[in-house]
Structure 1
Amino acid sequence: MTRRNGILEVRMHTNGGTLQFDWPVQTAYGHVWSDIGRDPENEVMILTGTGELWQIGNPEVWTTKFIDWPNSRKVEMYHESLRMVENMIHCFDIPTIGVFNGTGSHWQLGTLCDITLCAEDTAFFDAHYLGGVPPGDGIVLTLQKILGTKNAAIHAYTGMNIDAEAALNLGLVSEVLPREQLLPRAWELAEMIMQAPRSVRHLTHSIAAHPWKKALAHDQGLQLTHQLVDMAMDEEGIHERLMKIKERFQRNGR
């Protein structure tokens, strides 16, 4: 994290490189959003990744089938999955800017920000259904809210790419820029936002985030429960199916 004049830049990473997602990372998300939101010295947040990828999904986290997880851990998984998304909305009273430095998993976090920038070669897609899992982690909820019911459904079923230009036209991102221009532009926007009084910043964010609060309250718990219920009955296991389509992830930097 880097903070200057109230602007906090949060950069996801693993040992200085692209973030490699695992269960400790999922747990950490909820804590990080809560910690950032409680610190009154944070006035605007910029969220980005490291290198040329947003983050990397690791199929190895599914080596142990979910059906074989202890019941207590399954319940923890439910709450941690919710906090990863919900705390980003409910714990922040400050304007947020998501900066996609490239393609990657769990991209719903960047689109939940008030303003979202992305690199020109970024691709967005949801591979849950392709991997034999109902899509309940917040990506399809994001697609439903921004793209609409029909567009969200075809992307959920097919896992087809939304490239950066299409993402801009569909309203999934606010601006598309060369990678080297992303953070300078984010800081430019953050500094512009900081020119308004604190109360104006906070209340404008409240207005901007309110549609997400309603969507999460109405649908996120239900969608996540559908995903986890199916996973808890799945005897084959997610890892085996992901290995069958691993080339898809490799092509898209996942």
Structure 2
Amino acid sequence: MPGPIGRCGPDGAGFLAGPSFAQHQTRFAEHFVLDRRDGILTVRVHHEGGAALWSRGLLNAWNLLLGEISADRDTELVIITGTGDAWLAGVDFASFAEPMHRWAGESIDEQYNDGVKLLERVVNDLDVPTIAAINGPGPRLELPLLCDLTLCTPDVVIGDGNFSAGSAPGDGLYLVLHELIGAKRANHMVYTGEGLRADQARDLGLINEVVPRRDLLPRATRLAENIMAKPRTARRMTHRLAARGWQRRMVADLRHAYAHQLLTMAGHQDRA
């Protein structure tokens, strides 16, 4: 049977209505708290009400959520943040307990698809301005660093631990570092495992502002409200210009890099 008819078009005829915002809130509640006011959508990632843990499930949920957000014309700006004192509290090691060389081909394909789509959706699919409010330390910072504006708390440290853990750095952060701070600095960070403090990251252009935790979300909201005061078309076209460089970089490098990382991981053997 045909789906419900939406409100778009001169008479609404032929336009299918998407899921309601309440349906989004319910569907993604395990991983995200979604709040939308006056077109500003705040996405707060969590795990059981506290700081989130990186897992295969969370990766898949981010991919699906960004797809839904991109199709919702009532969302005019997106703020992403974490819960409590950490962007992510760490990694859910149980989610990655099975060595990748034992994974079925379908599981590897799923990991590859979710991994590349996560970043491609941010730069290709979202047609509205994006602001990241990194509320504390944690891994997997490539997503907030790809946003148009990025704020963080003073205790944030940005680093790529893939090589230190025995893996090629292909899941996105090295690509972001390479683009924003240059090859030599990015290479040094990867090979040494050293990170950048928040103030260093700001001075190098990785982030825009370092903000005390209590002021972080209010500051992000004020920036969002200032952006929302401008015409709708200007907001969306400016975001597309801001994302253009990332789009070229993703097409050129992301899938190539991610495949290299998965090849490294699939070649690992059990360690005594």
Both proteins in one fold, TM over 0.5: yes
| Code of the aligned partner of 1:68 | R
Unaligned ranges ≥5, structure 1: 241-254
RMSD across aligned C-alpha pairs, in angstroms?
1.0
Alpha-carbon distance, 1:59 to partner: 2.8
Alpha-carbon distance, 1:51 to partner: 0.5
Can you list the C-alpha shifts for 1:138-160, whole angstroms capped at 9, x where unaligned?
Answer: 00000001010100101111111
> Contact (CA 8 Å) 1:51, 1:101: kept in 2 or not?
yes
In the alignment, which residue of structure 2 is the partner of 1:251? none
| Code of the aligned partner of 1:51 | G
In the TM superposition, 1:34-73 aligns within 5 A as: 34-55=67-88, 56-73=90-107
In the alignment, which residue of structure 1 is the partner of 2:27? none
| Code of the aligned partner of 2:55 | D
For 2:192, which of 150, 158, 166 is the aligned residue?
Answer: 158
In the alignment, which residue of structure 2 is the partner of 1:236? 270
Unaligned ranges ≥5, structure 2: 1-33
In the alignment, which residue of structure 1 is the partner of 2:182? 148
Q: Distance in 2 between matches of 1:236 and 1:221?
A: 26
In the alignment, which residue of structure 1 is the partner of 2:252? 218
In the TM superposition, 1:68-83 aligns within 5 A as: 68-83=102-117
TM-score by length of 2: 0.86
Can you list the C-alpha shifts for 1:191-232, whole angstroms capped at 9, x where unaligned?
Answer: 000011100000000000111111111000111011011111
Alpha-carbon distance, 1:60 to partner: 2.9
Q: Distance in 2 between matches of 1:62 and 1:23?
A: 7
> Contact (CA 8 Å) 2:80, 2:144: kept in 1 or not?
yes
Q: Distance in 2 between matches of 1:132 and 1:191?
A: 43
In the alignment, which residue of structure 1 is the partner of 2:143? 109
| Code of the aligned partner of 2:35 | T
Runs of 4+ with deviation above 3 angstroms = none
Q: Distance in 1 between matches of 2:201 and 2:148?
A: 15
> Contact (CA 8 Å) 2:77, 2:224: kept in 1 or not?
yes
Secondary structure at 2:270's aligned position in 1? Answer: coil
Alpha-carbon distance, 1:58 to partner: 2.4
Q: Distance in 2 between matches of 1:62 and 1:179?
A: 31
Secondary structure at 1:46's aligned position in 2? Answer: strand
Q: Distance in 2 between matches of 1:76 and 1:207?
A: 31
Identity %: 36
Aligned: 1:85 with 2:119:
yes
Aligned: 1:125 with 2:159:
yes
TM-score by length of 1: 0.92
Q: Please tell me whether Structure 1 or Structure 2 has the larger radius of gyration of its CA atoms.
A: 2
In the alignment, which residue of structure 1 is the partner of 2:172? 138
Alpha-carbon distance, 1:171 to partner: 0.6
Greater RCO (Cα-Cα under 8 Å, separation 6 or more): 1
| Code of the aligned partner of 2:75 | N
Aligned pair count reads 238
| Code of the aligned partner of 1:120 | P
Can you list the C-alpha shifts for 1:175-203, whole angstroms capped at 9, x where unaligned?
Answer: 00100111000010000000111000000
> Contact (CA 8 Å) 1:18, 1:50: kept in 2 or not?
yes
Q: Distance in 2 between matches of 1:132 and 1:199?
A: 46
